[in-house]
Amino acid sequence: MTPSLSLSYSYPRCIHILLLSPPFDPLSKAMATTALMLYPATSSSYAYRKLFHSSHIHCCEDTVGRPRKPQLASLNGLAGFPEKNALLTPTSALPPRPRRIILVRHGQSEGNVDESAYTRVPDPKIGLTKKGMQEAEDCGIRIREMIEKDGAPDWKVYFYVSPYKRTLETLQGLGKAFEPSRIAGVREEPRLREQDFGNFQDREKMRVEKAIRVLYGRFFYRFPNGESAADVYDRITGFRETLRADIDIGRFQPPGQRNPNMNLVIVSHGLTLRVFLMRWYKWTVEQFEGLNNFSNGGMIVMQTGYGGRYSLLVHHTPEELREFGLTDEMLTDQEWQKFARPGELNYDILTTGQSFFTHFDTGNNKT
């Protein structure tokens, strides 16, 4: 059996050679000799003299003098990342899921009040108005009051935020409701940014483009030099996978802690948050286009139900969700989400397909 040979180069010029399957055959001996010829600084070393007399050779230490651990090196450095400890010491129990995912739209911005602001200031640098900052602070208070009703003494919040100025200022307003001990962390996430509307310098042209979008369809229409909602969907898909991975590895709490009273807050923009909900709950394009925008400083709460899955109906009433734009079919699914467990599928929706097929005679179906 041909032994495998692993070479890693570290400072100073030194070869770390690990022979995983002894004994040395001629091919491996030739490979090792070639490697040492490429690094002559080691050719007269003790490691070279031991090369053909030992099946496991460690000819160097790291820069702080500690011997390397080949069993960890073979994992390509994963041992250096605590959140990946599951790969080293797998366990059957996942960390508890955050109790809520709270979606917050930024407060009133200068662009919400005066659309011509976009002709003078780049979209990412549009800030909040005085009213918008107050809306952010009020929203923070509402979030805290909602969480405190749980009666859990160890609750915390963790924030994801768009890098735009108005969302960062909204985050600052929200944060006034929480002591530092309650904030588990903050991550700036560029994929949560606003839809790119292209060139705002020509105000009249932008009005025409927005009117065309209404006729064309809000999801697929792409602004010149900008994005469509479908483009936003693609990047939100990537963020959703990151979020799910963060939940699965328990990134929001220190190693060893398993606090079930964590609350995630995503501070973003109206369309981006609607697309996030569309992607999470697998809503159709038609269902997305029936949704209404969040109010400035408004929030939608995804909260764990009886089975541990996130449902909008745990916190919100059906009337509130209908006002947001959910149909009866979407509300029925949210009711299922309220009792289902993670990993389960709603087979009623998967198998009927009533929203796609129009030829079913529901009164005379044959099985």
10 Å CB burial of residue 134 (0-12, 13-18, 19+) is middle
List alpha helices for 102-183, DSSP H: 110-113, 130-148, 165-175
Has 210 been labeled as part of a binding site?
no
| Dihedrals phi, psi of 176, to nearest 5 degrees | -65, -15
Q: In the block, which residue shows the tokens 């010491």?
A: 89
Task: Give burial (CB, 10 Å; 0-12/13-18/19+) of 36.
Answer: buried
Which of 194, 227, 269, 316 is labelled catalytic?
A: 194
Binding residue per annotation — 166? Answer: yes
CB atoms within 10 A of CB 69: 12
Is 131 a known ligand-binding residue? no
Residue 105 is assigned to a ligand binding site: yes
DSSP-assigned states of every residue in 244-268: HHHHHHTTTS-TT---S-EEEEEEE
Told to judge if 194 belongs to the known catalytic residues of this protein, a careful annotator would answer: yes
Is 329 catalytic? The answer is no
Q: Is 295 annotated as a binding residue?
A: no
The verdict on whether residue 80 carries a ligand-binding annotation is no
108 annotated binding-site participant: yes
**274 labelled as ligand-binding?**
no
Which residue in 16, 106, 269, 316 is the catalytic one?
106
Contact (CB, 8 A) for 36 and 48: yes
User: What are the DSSP calls for 34-87, one per residue?
Assistant: HHHHHSGGGTTSHHHHHTTT-SS----B-TTSPBP-HHHHTTTTGGG-GGGHHH
**Residues that are catalytic:** 106, 194
The annotation places the binding site for substrate at 105-112, 166, 205
The annotation places the binding site at 105-112, 166, 205
